[in-house]
Homo-oligomer: A and B are copies of this chain.
């Protein structure tokens, strides 16, 4: 079993309730990698017998640190319409709320389609770049093959940079066919932008992340297990919080997801 699927293993315990546990490969400095939490919230709704359609939007709020060990996810369809469905979710540990989330699912129809955002052109392909070393980094980095085309953290440490733009090729390691859950996790692989701006590591953590899924299931399937291009940058840093936006592109030029998060920091 792929470590990602193992981390996503949820056991139904009652109506709307799932039991899960953190796994070592997706460990972060403290508790699990935020991206796996993002994926788990989505996965609980995906698994639910009342689920309608595919994910459109997901917001996950990190209310408290997730402790290593068992957790319970409550996933409730708050409203089901003809072609859309709204979810309220939360993760509990020891009866306390650790994360809250909302999600929107929908049955999509073919309509006029256009990508207005521009995929960065002229980047070296992933095969031409070295894999980022995970040495001295928390375990979850070894779950991704990341190749920095621009804006790597390592190069800015010690110096800082005037902007926080990163362009990074990323796929699951070992390779795994892309699906909604793995895409949700990938939206959170980008280092806090404040590290790049200030050129040093400092206390920082995602407070809330919102992901919009532009791709449907068949478009994800077309990606297979190839690298995706992630583009991340910060917009505003002020008084303890900053935001960072991310776009996830397929190598075929499809905009698969856009994501934004607000991050706590101390500097």
Query: A residues within 8 Å of B by Cβ?
Result: 56-57, 59, 61, 63-64, 78-79, 81, 84, 86, 88, 90, 96-98, 100-102, 104, 106, 108-117, 163-164, 193-194, 197-198, 207-208, 210, 212, 214-216, 233-241, 243, 245, 247, 255, 258, 260, 262, 264-267
A110 to B116, CA, bound (A): 37
Minimal beta-carbon separation of A77 from chain B (angstroms): 10
* Given A239-B109, A262-B212, also A97-B79 (CB < 8 A): yes
Residues in B neighbouring A210, C-beta threshold 8 A: 59, 208, 210, 260
Contact A86–B100 (Cβ < 8 Å) = yes
Contact B97–A241 (Cβ < 8 Å) = no
Contact A101–B102 (Cβ < 8 Å) = yes
Give the number of times this chain occurs in the complex, counting copies: 2
A215 to B78, CA, bound (A): 32
> 22 A–B contact pairs at CB < 8 A?
A56-B207, A56-B208, A63-B84, A63-B86, A78-B90, A101-B102, A102-B208, A106-B264, A108-B239, A108-B240, A108-B241, A109-B266, A111-B238, A114-B238, A115-B236, A116-B163, A210-B210, A212-B241, A214-B241, A235-B258, A236-B255, A258-B260
A104 interface neighbour in B193, B208, B237, B260, Cβ under 8 Å: B208
A237 to B207, CA, bound (A): 28
Kindly report which residue of chain B lies nearest to residue A243, judged by CB atoms.
Answer: B212
Residues in B neighbouring A258, C-beta threshold 8 A: 235-236, 243, 260
Kindly report which residue of chain B lies nearest to residue A197, judged by CB atoms.
Answer: B114
Residues in B neighbouring A264, C-beta threshold 8 A: 84, 106
Contact B57–A116 (Cβ < 8 Å) = no
Contact A56–B262 (Cβ < 8 Å) = yes
A36 to B210, CA, bound (A): 21
Residue of A106, A110, A265, A267 ringed by the most chain B CB atoms within 10 A: A106
Residues in B neighbouring A110, C-beta threshold 8 A: 239
